[in-house]
Amino acid sequence: MELHKLFTYDDGLLISNKTGKIYCNLDRDGYVRVRVDGREYRAHRLIWEMFNGPIPNELLVDHIDGDVFNNRIENLRLATRGQNNANSRAKSINSTNCKGVTKIGSKYRARLTHNGQTVSLGTFNTLEEAKNAYDQMALEVHGTFAKVD
C-alpha cells in the first residue's frame, strides 16, 4: 500500500488525499481506525509506516505518552509487547488508582509484572510507600517504557 498516495499526515492526523476527509473514527479502545479497500487499520501504525517503513512482525507501535488518540509521529515508537504493556495504564481501576498497587485490608501491596512473571514488591503501611516501591522497580526493569506518575 502506497501510504503517501492515499494520505496526508498533519500533526497526528491522517487526511484522505482522495476526499480531504480527516480520519477520526474511534474503536472501542479509543484508537483511530482507518478503512482502506475494505480493511481496517489503526492510524498510528499507518503513520509510523509513512515515516519509518514497515513494522517488524515482533514489534508494536507504542504511544509514548499513553494517549492512544495522540498519533503525532514524535509520540510513537517501536516496542515489544512487554514494553508496550509496561507503558500501559492499569487495566482496571483498582481501589488505589495506582498501577501495581492494591489495598489489602489496611495495608497496600505492590506488584509488578516483568517478562510474564508477577513479582511481589512487598506490603506497605501507606499508599505512598507502595507506589514508590512500584515506581522504583518499574523504572529499573522497564526503563523509558515504565508508566509511573
Grid coordinates given for 54:
514497515
Residue with cell 499508599: 127
Q: Is the pLDDT of residue 93 over 70?
A: no
At residue 95, the pLDDT reads: 73
Q: How far is CA 40 from CA 32, 46, 129, in A?
A: 10, 11, 44
| Local structure of 108: helix, strand or coil | strand
pLDDT of residue 49: 97
The DSSP 8-state label assigned to residue 30 in this structure reads S
Alpha-carbon distance of 94 to 134, in angstroms, equals 15
Q: Do the Cβ atoms of 29 and 84 come closer than 8 Å?
A: no
For 99-136, write each residue's pLDDT tens digit.
899 999 999 999 998 888 899 999 999 999 999 999 99
Give me the domains of the chain, ranges plus CATH numbers. 3-79 (3.90.75.20), 89-145 (3.30.730.10)
What is the rounded distance in angstroms from the CA atom of residue 21 to the CA atom of residue 108? 49
The number of beta carbons lying within 10 Å of the beta carbon of residue 34 is: 20
